[in-house]
């Protein structure tokens, strides 16, 4: 997976003392620093990102539900100012993606969400269970006989995309280009990017968008039983339900959101379960614990650690005034370890009773529409993996690095011994 090897300066914060400490980019020390922030300065300005960081569960929850004063419009904005040359490339390439889902407010969001939810729901996802299990079985067959593996490269990188391709009716042979475009999109939207990355990225996004336009056109010509065809049926040619450009943007969103996060979540889950091995042994011995284990991994090591919002007016939160227009990061990674809500929050425990309260999928109006699918995929992977490779161990001295972003906790590898 691609990444930005940028350097960061930890200059002191002009606004607050905490500002130069919990750097959202330093994954190694992130959780310890956020624990200190929750205690000492639960809302602080981070000059490194230009965002106000909200670390306590109650404050994050209040913001997630405050639609009058808080906007979602910035959730997938570029982390760096976008150069005019990159904007021009996208314009020339007819890139017309709009703000329709996670990054959208009000009536339009409700309308697009209602249309999408007719396809993205438990019924659709549950019907996929046999097909998902089949994909997982085939992926694990490829690990048979091996002594060691990188669980990211050899399992979790492609699997969620294979599931999403089934959902959308995308041919599996398009894997390499879709995964490559998604990696680029992670950098453009969620990491600081250089001029060169923006230019190359803009060209990639034009190709990615065009791919979605073509996919929608093909389904118009020859409908199937996939989600794209289903969205077209829901739209039924009626722009007041969903315009064609909105529908294409939904597809463009899914072709990213539907797999990148699950890839990271699965990898984080394996890492936590194998690090705190009694938990791994517990789920091997009693597979009915697996759904609880899945929730605990969302809480303890969620793939989304910080999601964005913008203050429409000045708001006071956690004793701090965030000015009108202020950009906010809701630190889900911190909220999920808030001691007010989770007993011994730094302990990973698959038997934890309230792990499902985590915020990793958001909460409220924008809560993740794919959450049941991600949960199902994770459950199936863990059920099959514990059965076939109960003796798996983390490779000795394996150092896990993370992608350079404050939005995702995305490991770049996970070496294990399988036997
Ligand atoms: C581990 C996997 C996943 C995680 C951690 C995750 C996390 C999130 C988060 C944090 C949001 C934004 C919530 C907010 O703004 O308040 C979101 C929204 C969304 N997610 Fe996921 N997601 C995952 C998997 C998926 C999958 C598999 C799909 C689709 C198949 C999906 C589709 C969506 C959609 C459509 C939205 C927009 C919802 C809206 O704004 O109304 N996600 N997700």
Distance 37 CA to ligand 1 centre (A): 26
Average pLDDT score over residue span 334-362? 98
State residue 21's pLDDT score: 58
Residue 161 corresponds to which tokens in the numbers above? 């995309």
Tell me the helix, strand and coil percentages in the chain, rounded to 5: 50, 10, 40
Average pLDDT score over residue span 1-22? 38
Query: Does any ligand 1 atom lie closer than 6 A to the CB of residue 71?
Result: no
Q: How confident is the model at residue 22 (pLDDT cuts 50, 70, 90)?
A: low
Residue 253 clears pLDDT 90, i.e. is over it: yes
Query: Does any ligand 1 atom lie closer than 6 A to the CB of residue 102?
Result: yes
Nearby residues of 352 by Cβ (< 8 Å), 6 or more positions away: 292, 295, 296, 299, 342
Residue 307 clears pLDDT 80, i.e. is over it: yes
Q: Which of 168, 163, 176 is nearest to 204 (CA)?
A: 176
Residue 25 clears pLDDT 80, i.e. is over it: no
Mutate to test the pocket of ligand 1, among 370, 375, 410, 411 (most ligand atoms within 8 A of CB): 370
Query: Does any ligand 1 atom lie closer than 6 A to the CB of residue 258?
Result: yes
State residue 115's pLDDT score: 98
Beta pairing partners, 149: 416
Query: Does any ligand 1 atom lie closer than 6 A to the CB of residue 263?
Result: no
Q: How confident is the model at residue 3 (pLDDT cuts 50, 70, 90)?
A: very low
The count of other CB atoms within 10 Å of the CB of residue 371 is 16
User: What CATH fold (topology level) applies to the domain 28-417?
Assistant: Cytochrome p450 (1.10.630)
Query: Does any ligand 1 atom lie closer than 6 A to the CB of residue 257?
Result: yes
Residue 390 clears pLDDT 80, i.e. is over it: yes
Edge-to-edge order in the sheet of strand 51-54: 43-46, 51-54, 327-331, 306-311, 70-71
Nearest CA to ligand 1 atom 28: 370
Residue 150 clears pLDDT 90, i.e. is over it: yes
Average pLDDT score over residue span 222-237? 97
pLDDT digits (tens, 9 = 90+) for 369-386: 999 999 999 999 999 999
pLDDT digits (tens, 9 = 90+) for 33-59: 999 999 999 999 998 889 999 999 999
Cβ–Cβ under 8 Å, residues 270 and 417: no
Q: Which of 379, 365, 344 is nearest to 70 (CA)?
A: 365
Question: For residue 321, what is the DSSP state?
Answer: E
Of ligand 1's atoms, which has the minimum distance to the CA of residue 365?
Answer: 41
Question: For residue 304, what is the DSSP state?
Answer: B
Q: Which of the residue ranges 186-195, 320-329, 375-384 would you say has the lowest mean pLDDT?
A: 186-195
Query: Does any ligand 1 atom lie closer than 6 A to the CB of residue 370?
Result: yes
53's enclosing H/E stretch is: strand 51-54
d(CA 175, CA 211) in angstroms, rounded, equals 13
190's enclosing H/E stretch is: helix 175-190
Average pLDDT score over residue span 187-216? 94
Nearest CA to ligand 1 atom 17: 368
Of ligand 1's atoms, which has the minimum distance to the CA of residue 101?
Answer: 40
Average pLDDT score over residue span 171-175? 93
- What is the pLDDT of the chain when averaged over all its residues? 93
Cβ–Cβ under 8 Å, residues 246 and 216: no
Q: Which of 95, 293, 264 is nearest to 183 (CA)?
A: 264
As to burial, measured by CB atoms within 10 angstroms (0-12 exposed, 13-18 middle, 19+ buried), residue 325 is exposed
Average pLDDT score over residue span 213-237? 97
Query: Does any ligand 1 atom lie closer than 6 A to the CB of residue 376?
Result: no
Distances (CA, A) of 34 to 27, 40, 136, 324, 412: 11, 10, 35, 25, 22
d(CA 147, CA 189) in angstroms, rounded, equals 37
Q: How confident is the model at residue 313 (pLDDT cuts 50, 70, 90)?
A: very high
Nearby residues of 357 by Cβ (< 8 Å), 6 or more positions away: 299, 341, 342
Beta strands 315-317 and 320-322 are antiparallel
Of ligand 1's atoms, which has the minimum distance to the CA of residue 75?
Answer: 15
Residue 1 clears pLDDT 60, i.e. is over it: no
Average pLDDT score over residue span 106-121? 98
Average pLDDT score over residue span 357-380? 98
Of ligand 1's atoms, which has the minimum distance to the CA of residue 265?
Answer: 1
d(CA 341, CA 335) in angstroms, rounded, equals 9
- Which residue pairs from 237-244 have beta carbons closer than 8 angstroms and sit at least 24 positions apart in sequence? 241/111, 241/115, 242/111, 242/112, 242/115, 244/216
Query: Does any ligand 1 atom lie closer than 6 A to the CB of residue 310?
Result: no
Torsion 24-29-35-40 (CA) sign = negative
Q: How confident is the model at residue 11 (pLDDT cuts 50, 70, 90)?
A: very low
Query: Does any ligand 1 atom lie closer than 6 A to the CB of residue 188?
Result: no
Of ligand 1's atoms, which has the minimum distance to the CA of residue 266?
Answer: 1
Residue 24 clears pLDDT 80, i.e. is over it: no
């Amino acid at each position: 997976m691609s990444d930005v090897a940028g350097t960061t300066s930890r200059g002191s914060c002009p606004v607050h003392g905490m500002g130069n400490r919990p750097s959202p980019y330093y994954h190694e020390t992130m959780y310890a620093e956020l624990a200190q922030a929750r205690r000492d300065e639960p809302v602080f300005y981070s000059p490194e990102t230009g965002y106000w960081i909200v670390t306590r569960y109650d404050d994050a929850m209040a913001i997630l539900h405050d639609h009058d004063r808080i906007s979602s419009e910035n959730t997938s904005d570029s982390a760096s100012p976008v150069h005019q040359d990159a904007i021009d490339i996208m314009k020339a390439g007819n890139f017309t993606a709009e703000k329709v889902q996670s990054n959208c407010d009000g009536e339009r969001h409700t309308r697009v969400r209602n249309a999408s939810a007719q396809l993205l729901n438990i019924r659709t996802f549950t019907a996929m269970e046999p097909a998902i299990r089949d994909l997982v079985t085939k992926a694990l067959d490829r690990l048979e006989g091996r002594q060691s593996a990188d669980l990211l490269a050899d399992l979790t990188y492609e699997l969620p995309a294979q599931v999403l391709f089934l959902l959308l009716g995308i041919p599996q042979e398009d894997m390499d280009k879709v995964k490559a475009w998604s990696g680029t999109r992670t950098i453009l939207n969620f990491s600081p990017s250089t001029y060169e990355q923006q230019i190359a990225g803009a060209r990639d996004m034009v190709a990615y968008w065009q791919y979605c336009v073509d996919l929608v056109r093909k389904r118009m010509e020859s409908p199937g039983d996939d989600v794209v065809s289903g969205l077209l049926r829901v739209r039924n040619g009626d722009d007041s339900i969903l315009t064609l450009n909105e529908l294409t943007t939904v597809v463009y969103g899914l072709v990213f959101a539907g797999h990148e996060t699950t890839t990271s979540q699965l990898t984080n889950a394996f890492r936590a379960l194998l690090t705190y091995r009694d938990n791994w042994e517990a789920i091997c011995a009693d597979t009915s614990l697996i759904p609880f284990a899945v929730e605990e991994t969302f809480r303890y090591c969620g793939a989304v650690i910080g999601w964005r919002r913008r203050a429409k007016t000045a708001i006071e939160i956690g004793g701090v005034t965030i000015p009108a227009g202020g950009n906010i990061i809701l630190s889900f990674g911190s909220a999920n370890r808030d001691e007010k809500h989770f007993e011994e929050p730094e302990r990973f425990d698959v038997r934890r009773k309230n792990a499902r309260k985590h915020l990793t999928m958001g909460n409220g109006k924008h809560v993740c529409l794919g959450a049941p699918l991600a949960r199902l995929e994770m459950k199936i992977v863990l059920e099959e993996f514990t059965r076939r490779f109960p003796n798996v161990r983390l490779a000795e001295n394996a150092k896990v690095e993370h992608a350079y972003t404050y939005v995702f906790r995305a490991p770049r590898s996970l070496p294990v011994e399988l036997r």
